[in-house]
Chain A
């Protein structure tokens, strides 16, 4: 049973530590990075030209075209550029209301994803960081998915 909590409708409450599989293991991991061991790392990449990107891919660098790309665990920390409360469903499995944010990661890339909401409103430049939450996948199985929340 999905509990409506304003966090994208598939976020389950009261399940902080469960051993569920990751919903998108190609994009993030439970373990943190060296610089931020307590925050789930984002699985990004770095080109020989120095360009840091997310997620990791092997097709080629968006800045220089090189295929010399290496995996890089990103810290999962960043600053909120903007957020918006969404009032209209964005997909069959993504029921409103929920909040989206645009985050400038401290490693460089900008990501746009769902924010873990609480009563305090988000503001531009708020420090945010990754957190794993329990969600139901389309088959109804509990999985761990990544959100950003205000960083203490």
Chain B
């Protein structure tokens, strides 16, 4: 009989930390990772020797990059595993830390996402199976086509997708950890550098560097270590899927999102209207439009209207990407999924300051990753 996270003993996030997402710099990945890990320990008010296992998520950094970071906290000899799952690396690491704590194997686990962009071969180029135009199809061309398809199906202007970027840049401007921290007007976004279709540069995520950390703990650990229980946020669902052979294979991200979100909501005993705050994979503006519909946050074909009505603004019915999302906060790949958990926890604690969604009680974090894979986590206070 399959068991969900809610069937195990309760799992909580008790500590969060970030290194600001930023453009590639001379900063060592060790410094990026240590900054986030120490911030998470400090937030939880626990010492490093209390942590019993560590999951390090990265996609670009070389193998075994975790110990060169964590040894500077004191080499305690705890189990350490590296997780690579493309854009969802940080989400996958979080899921497995939750499962480990939920199962009772350990009481306290660190999830650390850290990365610096660097050239790596594309996995499809090494399969031995040819491709008609592998050098012409990049993520931005894929999503430009999806945008064109959505626009023609639902009778909206492709320029309307830029409304997502207006909202997310406004949110990012209030987030000291965001890579882009500047409010942008619709005209500014539309007048930016053209990428593909009507996508402009400010509607695309800036892939940069950074780090994100969370500490996951059991109730036993919260009691034993004297962790402030009122600031602990429970993880009530973790769902993960990978791509099947779909009839509409070009919409695999949205189909995966729909499947995985449905599983996570069912596991948590929730419905979409229960969600107060959502962090999703808005690497390109059209993605947010596709995913809010796939998640059931609004009916199919209505996302643009909902955006115009402010439904997804901070203060709206459900704040979507209050961190600024991938478009403004950034997407350093390895840390991104973990960074979403950081934002959801901050929101559910009521500690998000200028970008606080009022009375946020239920939050959802969603990532898709090349492959394709999809992760959805639900957290609740």
A residues neighboring B (CB under 8 Å): 8, 24, 26-28, 51, 55, 57, 59, 62-63, 81-88, 90-91, 93-94, 98, 100-102, 109-114, 123-124, 146
Contacts and interface: CB of A to CB of B under 8 A. Distances in A.
Contact of A81 (B135, B137, B149, B193): B149
A55 B130 contact: yes
B250 interface: yes
A93 B145 contact: no
Contacts of A8: 136
B145 to A, nearest CB: 4
A84 B132 contact: no
30 contacts: A24-B130, A24-B132, A27-B132, A55-B131, A62-B245, A81-B250, A82-B148, A83-B148, A84-B141, A84-B145, A84-B196, A85-B197, A86-B136, A86-B144, A87-B193, A88-B193, A88-B195, A90-B135, A90-B136, A91-B135, A91-B136, A94-B136, A100-B144, A100-B145, A100-B196, A111-B132, A112-B133, A112-B137, A112-B141, A112-B250
B63 interface: no
A59 B138 CA distance: 25
A110 B250 contact: yes
Given A100-B141, A102-B145, 15 more contacts: A28-B132, A55-B129, A57-B129, A62-B245, A82-B146, A83-B148, A84-B147, A88-B194, A88-B195, A91-B135, A110-B249, A112-B137, A113-B137, A124-B148, A124-B149
Contact of A87 (B131, B146, B195, B248): B195
B152 A82 contact: yes
Contacts of B249: 109-110
Interface string B122-157: 000000111111011110111011111100110000
A65 to B, nearest CB: 11
Contacts of B137: 90, 100, 112-113
A113 B128 CA distance: 18
Contact of B197 (A27, A84, A94, A146): A84
Interface string B356-370: 000000000000000
B145 A113 contact: no
Size range of the interface on B? 20 to 34
Interface of B: 128-133, 135-138, 140-142, 144-149, 152-153, 193-197, 245, 248-250
B128 to A, nearest CB: 8
A94 B196 CA distance: 14
A46 to B, nearest CB: 13
A93 B194 CA distance: 20
A27 B130 contact: yes
A109 B245 CA distance: 10
B136 A87 contact: no
Listed residue (B129, B131, B148) with the most chain A CB atoms within 10 angstroms of its CB: B148
A90 B141 contact: yes
Contacts of A88: 140, 193-196
A90 B195 CA distance: 10
Contacts of A98: 136
A71 B1 CA distance: 41
A91 B137 CA distance: 9
Given A84-B141, A113-B136, A51 B245 contact: yes
B136 A100 contact: yes
Contacts of B133: 94, 100, 112-114
Contacts of B148: 82-84, 124
A8 B135 CA distance: 10
B146 A63 contact: no
A5 B195 CA distance: 18
A101 B145 contact: yes
A98 B245 CA distance: 29
